[in-house]
Structure 1
Amino acid sequence: MKDDDILRYDRMVEGALRGVVRQAIQEVVGEVAEDGRLPGDHHFYITFMTDYPGVKIPDYLRERYPGEMTIVLQYQFYDLGIIEDKNGGRISVTLSFNNVPERLEIPLAAISIFADPSVNFALQFQPLGDDDGPDLDPSEDFDDDDTSNRGGNGGEKTGEVVSLDKFRKKDT
């Protein structure tokens, strides 16, 4: 083993930053359960790779958003939580698409952008390669260890998928 392979600070930083996403979701779950909405003006934009192993979304959404999709958690979402698993955990949430509730499960490792525009906060993650993340088996059933923290939210607004281009800096 080469000396520069011993301490992979890039992996440590990625893991720590994904921990921020995990903690934000976990802290919000309690707030959502108490008063039915995210605290203050908080809302989350979560962009994730739809073809990442362990991502569970309906086929029609995967076809409509090949490669990448963004969800917004602000008003109408249910059963938000983190499901712990041996692969680093995943976000679970039910959103409404055209008034049809759909359950989504998104491994934290599949997230490419996490943003909370209400406080001008955003994280952009590097894609995890084969040797960068946990050992993932695409054929594995991710439902086995459902030890989640969940809350819910009712509201009149519907879930939406948006482009984050308006939040990205333009090259001048």
Structure 2
Amino acid sequence: MAQSDRTIDYGKLMHRAMRGLIQRVLEDVSREGLPGNHHFFITFDTMHPDVEIADWLSDRYPGEMTIVLQHWFDNLVVNDDGFAITLNFGDNPEPLYVPYDSIRTFVDPSVEFGLRFESQDGEIEDEDQDEAPMQEMVEDEEPEPAQKGAAEVVSLDKFRK
């Protein structure tokens, strides 16, 4: 039997599966609300072409932004490509649209769960950032001290060739 040059792209399959996991979690939250102490820190690439945020937010966060889904959010609508949500920024409700492909990290500190997505085009992010504990990556919104515990991160880099 001849060997094929075809390979299984485990990294791409893992990315798809993990984004599907985020979709299912957010769909459940949109129907039932956040259970117990669960809350999410979601860091995404604000320069992704399908991200929709107010101009003042993209000016303030020109590369990436971390949002917190915890105490107040509204209009959470989840679809196959991403999610829309309204969040409060200093008493200013702002609608956002975040495609799954723009997500860099998804963390639920209440259960020490975290996912990190490396860029799809092969770009490697800063070596220092890869070594940074998760808490340093999600402090933009200044969570309460009890919420700053480092989460276990599942890195998908080890599945890439």
* Interval containing the TM-score (normalised by the shorter chain): 0.7 to 0.9
Residue number in structure 2 paired with 1:128? 120
Output the aligned Cα RMSD.
2.5
Residue number in structure 2 paired with 1:30? 31
Structure 1 residues 4 and 74 mapped into 2: Cα distance closer, same or farther (>3 Å)? Answer: farther
Higher helix share: 2
> Structure 1: any 5+ residue segments left out of the alignment?
33-37, 131-159
Alignment check: 8 A CA contact 1:79 1:94 kept: yes
Write the letter of the residue equivalent to 1:25: L
TM-score by length of 2: 0.72
Residue number in structure 1 paired with 2:150? 167
Write the letter of the residue equivalent to 2:19: R
Residue number in structure 2 paired with 1:155? none
Aligned length: 130
**Runs of 4 or more above 2 Å deviation:** 2-7, 160-169
Alpha-carbon distance in 2 for matches of 1:113, 1:4 = 33
- Are residue 72 (structure 1) and residue 51 (structure 2) matched? no
CA deviation profile, 1:122-156 (whole Å, cap 9, x unmatched): 000111229xxxxxxxxxxxxxxxxxxxxxxxxxx
> Structure 2: any 5+ residue segments left out of the alignment?
123-138, 153-161
Alpha-carbon distance in 2 for matches of 1:161, 1:94 = 18
Over the matched positions of the two proteins, sequence identity in percent amounts to 40
TM-score by length of 1: 0.68
SS in 2 for 1:167: coil
Alpha-carbon distance in 2 for matches of 1:5, 1:126 = 23
Structure with greater contact order relative to length (CA < 8 Å, sep ≥ 6): 1
